[in-house]
Structure 1
Amino acid sequence: MGITEKEIVERFGNGCMVIEESDRLIGECNYRNTVDGVAEIGIKICETDCHNRGFGRKVLSMLIGWLFRNGYSKIVLDTNVTNTRAQHLYESLGFRKARTNIDSWKDQLGQLQSSVDYELVEKDCVSYE
């Protein structure tokens, strides 16, 4: 992955959870406190046969609801600019594009990639819980 164990703990130290469906591990989601009142979240549904079945929307909706109920005022995330399926999901939950970062990071093959930053405040949240 190109990061150290310490970096993993720093990134995911607040909360890393597995996503399970019918006793099968299908993915993971996480959050971390970035600054007071702001959580950065991430999700990955690893099992391709579980894509496009609503698991991501449901899990994110539950996580977002929990974060807002527990004092967070804003939630942020980013995704690869080419991941339009994820962008559609995030926008359906009420996230708004904050910025696009052109050639802002390199993938494991050394190729420059671009990302989109998203933000969500509670008043814009669309729940699917």
Structure 2
Amino acid sequence: MEISAFTNDMQSSVCEFFEKCFAALGIPFSPSDRHADIADIEGYYMHCGCFRCLWDDSVLVGTAALRVMDAEDGVAELKRMFVLPEYQGRGCGRLLLNHAIGYAKEQRYSRICLDTRRELSAAQHLYRSSGFTEIERYNDNERAELFFELVL
């Protein structure tokens, strides 16, 4: 397994990856609307954060992104933390999360926030076991039910 920074030549692989991930969750993939950030990784993440891809040889198996949420206070938001269903339970999520936390520390962020869904219990366990604590709602994402932060 290898983590690499997103490059534009990965764009089609990333879109295909998210199409699979969202289908597994029963969510239609909408790159021209709700998921516009996925169709333009460079524009949404690379100038104000990072987007990382986890590869098993030539297969994209996971992603994690950070974007600046509040530059003045040094707050980043963890976004697009996904692992293909067939790779879940193998430590891929922890590998990606640890990488994102390391990046946030290098950039001197003070904390990382994230939102998730109640049904994603494995993700919640990963976040809690990595030191994230539950907080009040901080955004208007209607699909999100739980909100966490990690003070760095």
TM-score normalised to the size of structure 1? 0.74
1:72 aligns with 2:105: no
Contact residue 63 and residue 96 of structure 2 kept, 8 A:
no
Correspondence list, 1:48-63, <5 A: 48-63=85-100
Q: Which consecutive unaligned segments of at least 5 residues does structure 1 have?
A: 106-112, 123-129
Who is 1:24 aligned against?
A: 59
- Tell me the number of residue pairs that the alignment of Structure 1 and Structure 2 aligns: 113
- In structure 2, relative to structure 1, the CA distance for the partners of 1:116 and 1:90 (3 Å cut) is same
Q: Give the residue type in structure 2 aligned to 1:55.
A: C
Q: Give the alignment partner of residue 3 of structure 1, picking from 34, 45, 48.
A: 34
Which amino acid is 1:59 matched to? L
Amino acid at match of 2:45: F
Q: CA RMSD in A?
A: 2.5
User: Residue type of the partner of 2:93?
Assistant: G
Q: What is the match of residue 110 of structure 1?
A: none
CA distance in 2, matches of 1:95, 1:72: 15
Larger RCO (alpha carbons 8 Å, 6+ apart): 1
Percent of matched pairs sharing the same residue: 28
> What is residue 8 of structure 2 aligned with on the other side?
none
* Alpha-carbon distance in 2 for matches of 1:4, 1:88: 25
**3-state SS of the aligned residue for 1:71?**
coil
Q: Which has the higher helix share?
A: 2
1:44 aligns with 2:90: no
Structure 1 counterpart of 2:130: 93
The equivalent of 2:50 in structure 1 is 15
Which of the two has greater strand per residue?
1
* 2: CA distance, partners of 1:55 / 1:6: 22
TM (norm. structure 2) is 0.64
The offset of 1:81, in angstroms, is 1.6
Listed one character per residue, the Cα deviations across residues 50-103 of structure 1 (whole Å, up to 9, x for unaligned) are 1000110111112102211221010011101221111001000000000269xx
SS in structure 1 opposite 2:136?
strand
Look up the equivalent residue of 1:29 and give its one-letter code. Answer: A
